[in-house]
Chains A and B, each alone.
Chain A
């Protein structure tokens, strides 16, 4: 019994962690590699969630079909913002980036409230995602298993693409020396837009997948901003693996602490993050500043 419940908690923590990874990895890349601190990243996640709600309720789309739609639309939105706004601020210092994107967060909160109301959005999941499955030793909800599988697949794909395409090295080269990168045949503008688009697409997908796990209301970007930033900074921004490990670590710790010490709330997570950051300010896998 004891073991079963621990296993189930670990399972839930991993599923939660994967979701955190999906919604945070785009920010980790833009922050760590491109030096752009985008606090509005959570707004894209929320947008992905609302898109699912709108498509399912308004147009009767099946849940599964909304997921790729969320990816595409959020990627386009991300690319649009990069082209129109963020591009001007790459060299404007992190304070301006932080402020501008906080402004966008507030605007997105207002718009979401206006369009969908202030309350939580209940979402009726298809029946097969409302079941409980037995995995031998313990039972899990099929929704979480689904999150885990889809999230895991996306993570694997992302890691593969990221390593194979040398994307990280290209972006870093473009940031360090734009001229040089361009003369090596890297289209820097397009590369940055692409990175933003993919990051936002994944974030939107994360938001779409997790409406029933994280909840969805207009204050979502503010509420989850913190978790996203903690995942990114604890993992060490710019490191995919670091972000993944931090997301899993925080996911598992959160699930355990909510189960065993519910009165502590989010305190456990913040304290864990603070300890890690005090001890290792660049994050677990971040590069030390030179």
Chain B
């Protein structure tokens, strides 16, 4: 009798276990909230980290779950940033609608691109996304009437959030705004990853032939996930514009595309939290090291990447999980 009961419970338990909220996750988000009180002098940096983390999250969806490496993801980040900037310059300063609109613009552009990209894999995908990113950057650079070219867009008026909270230099509003947007998107992405669609996405990454044999259409999956990822990248870009009141051409640069990839790999691909952790480590390291000398920053950055690729392929999150597992084993043995 008990055997039967156990048997029927097991499958449901296995699925629930997959998406269960773990203690470490609560600790993580509590720490993010607490950082407001712990590091009041660094709110601007923390907002930047949240934004970069959101951007890396969009790439994690694409790369970590969909298995598609992009070298031009800044295209969508930048598109969101410029959309938000232009909206502000044209006099529409309402943050939330501006944010959503920027995400939609980036998403629609991502949809159009994905129609072409869905035919490509691996190296061809890398190269075409790279070209796409360069194209958009050069386009913005040249069409300075619209984008301000090299000078970027400044004086972007932003109305107070909900008509109450002003975006000031101190960065209080920017912090909470960035945190809320990042957290909401994170929740949605986390849900998606733990849905049948997320499973299908992982299946595609693991073995496309097998996934097709299950009736999963790679074309539809690529289109859907690329569009979503682009939209989230666009949201991140718009957040950057809104919290800094400024758009620099750099938002579209190759360095940004490469940077977000590095953050993600540093944190751990396909873990969701790796995106946020990687962004934090990357930006803090950049702050510290380039304060010493910008040249050193490039050197250390390069060295870190090489080390991560050679010795810690699963990033910091993977590393900490391995250490944790080892500690548990030790503890059980003792």
Query: Contact: B126 with A99, CB < 8 Å?
Result: no
Query: Contact: A103 with B303, CB < 8 Å?
Result: yes
Query: Contact: A107 with B127, CB < 8 Å?
Result: no
Q: Find chain A residues with CB under 8 A from B74 CB.
A: none
Of chain A, the residue at the smallest CB distance from B307 is A103
Q: Find chain B residues with CB under 8 A from A233 CB.
A: 124, 127-128, 131
User: Given the complex of chains A and B, what is the CA–CA distance between A37 and B258 in angstroms?
Assistant: 15
Q: Find chain A residues with CB under 8 A from B134 CB.
A: 226, 266, 270
CB < 8 Å neighbour of B301 from A106, A222, A281: A106
- What's the minimum C-beta distance from B219 to chain A, rounded to whole angstroms? 14
User: Is there a chain A Cβ closer than 8 Å to B183's Cβ?
Assistant: no
User: Is there a chain A Cβ closer than 8 Å to B261's Cβ?
Assistant: yes
User: Is there a chain B Cβ closer than 8 Å to A31's Cβ?
Assistant: yes
| A interface residues (Cβ-Cβ under 8 A, vs B) | 31, 35, 37, 85, 88-89, 92, 94-96, 98-100, 102-111, 113-114, 118, 222, 225-226, 229-230, 233, 237, 263-267, 270-271, 273-274, 277-278, 281-282, 289
Q: Find chain A residues with CB under 8 A from B128 CB.
A: 233, 274, 277-278, 281
Q: Find chain B residues with CB under 8 A from A92 CB.
A: 309
Question: Are A96 and B295 also in contact (CB < 8 A) when A226-B130, A233-B127 are?
Answer: no
User: Given the complex of chains A and B, what is the CA–CA distance between A264 and B149 in angstroms?
Assistant: 12
Dominant secondary structure at the A interface? helix
Q: Find chain A residues with CB under 8 A from B126 CB.
A: 37, 94, 98
**11 additional contacts (CB under 8 A) given A88-B310, A92-B309, A109-B302:** A89-B309, A99-B261, A100-B306, A107-B302, A107-B306, A222-B254, A230-B131, A233-B124, A271-B135, A273-B131, A277-B128
Query: Contact: B116 with A105, CB < 8 Å?
Result: no
- What's the minimum C-beta distance from B149 to chain A, rounded to whole angstroms? 10
User: Is there a chain A Cβ closer than 8 Å to B52's Cβ?
Assistant: no
User: Given the complex of chains A and B, what is the CA–CA distance between A35 and B121 in angstroms?
Assistant: 13
Of chain B, the residue at the smallest CB distance from A230 is B131
CB < 8 Å neighbour of A103 from B127, B132, B255, B304: B304
Q: Find chain A residues with CB under 8 A from B304 CB.
A: 103
User: Given the complex of chains A and B, what is the CA–CA distance between A108 and B142 in angstroms?
Assistant: 30
Q: Find chain B residues with CB under 8 A from A35 CB.
A: 123
User: Given the complex of chains A and B, what is the CA–CA distance between A226 and B127 in angstroms?
Assistant: 10
Query: Contact: B310 with A106, CB < 8 Å?
Result: no
- What's the minimum C-beta distance from B275 to chain A, rounded to whole angstroms? 15
Q: Find chain B residues with CB under 8 A from A237 CB.
A: 123
Q: Find chain A residues with CB under 8 A from B141 CB.
A: 265, 267
**Which of A31, A95, A114, A225 has most chain B Cβ within 10 Å?**
A95
User: Given the complex of chains A and B, what is the CA–CA distance between A108 and B303 in angstroms?
Assistant: 10
User: Is there a chain A Cβ closer than 8 Å to B95's Cβ?
Assistant: no
Query: Contact: B299 with A107, CB < 8 Å?
Result: yes
Question: Are A100 and B122 also in contact (CB < 8 A) when A107-B302, A109-B298, A110-B295 are?
Answer: no
Q: Find chain B residues with CB under 8 A from A281 CB.
A: 119-120, 124, 128
CB < 8 Å neighbour of B124 from A85, A96, A282: A282
